[in-house]
Amino acid sequence: MFTAVARSLCGRLTVDRYTRASRPVLARLYYRPADPLAVTLAVPSAVSHDGGRVEWVFARNLLDRGLQGPCGEGDVRIRPLGADRTVIEFAERDGSAMIDLSTQSLRQFLAWAYAAVPPGEESEHLDLDSVVAELLDDA
């Protein structure tokens, strides 16, 4: 039984789309079978404007589809950038950011996530009590 999947990836983070100034960053992807529909991408707090924790949570299948072609609406969009890189764009009220990562590394991460919880079996692993508790804590 898998408890979690994690992978560190070197990428380039752009926090201001207008200047296109970017910097190298070590990102960390997480997948937990207890939350089988989502993946989490975290970057060091040093890259945030206020020094706070920087994490984005989005659908595992969005990441999978984004490796094939542009997808996503709203806060998270994913698209290939050439043959070897994939861009994940995040938009929120205070600004936007995008990170480009190795497509091969993302594919390997997804392979591990799908080994932990195969597509179509997510409902068997979903911990609804934890999901409700998290939602109530965020309210």
- Residue 40 belongs to domain spanning: 23-127
SS3 content of the chain, % helix, strand, coil (to 5): 30, 40, 30
- Residue at 102 is within a domain: yes
- Residue at 66 is within a domain: yes
Give me the number of domains the chain comprises: 1
How do the pLDDT tens digits run along the chain, 139 residues long?
Answer: 567 899 999 999 887 666 667 889 999 999 998 888 899 999 887 666 667 778 889 999 999 999 999 998 888 999 999 989 999 998 877 777 889 999 999 999 999 999 988 887 766 666 667 656 766 776 5
Look up the CATH number of the domain holding residue 93: 2.30.31.20
Check: CB of residue 83 under 8 Å from CB of residue 68: no
**End-to-end CA distance of the chain, in Å?**
32
Q: What pLDDT sits at residue 4?
A: 87
How far is residue 29 from each of residues 4, 17, 40, 124, measured CA to CA in Å? 11, 23, 6, 22
User: Nearest-5° angle of CA 46, CA 87, CA 110?
Assistant: 95
Please give the structure tokens belonging to residue 131.
Answer: 């999901």
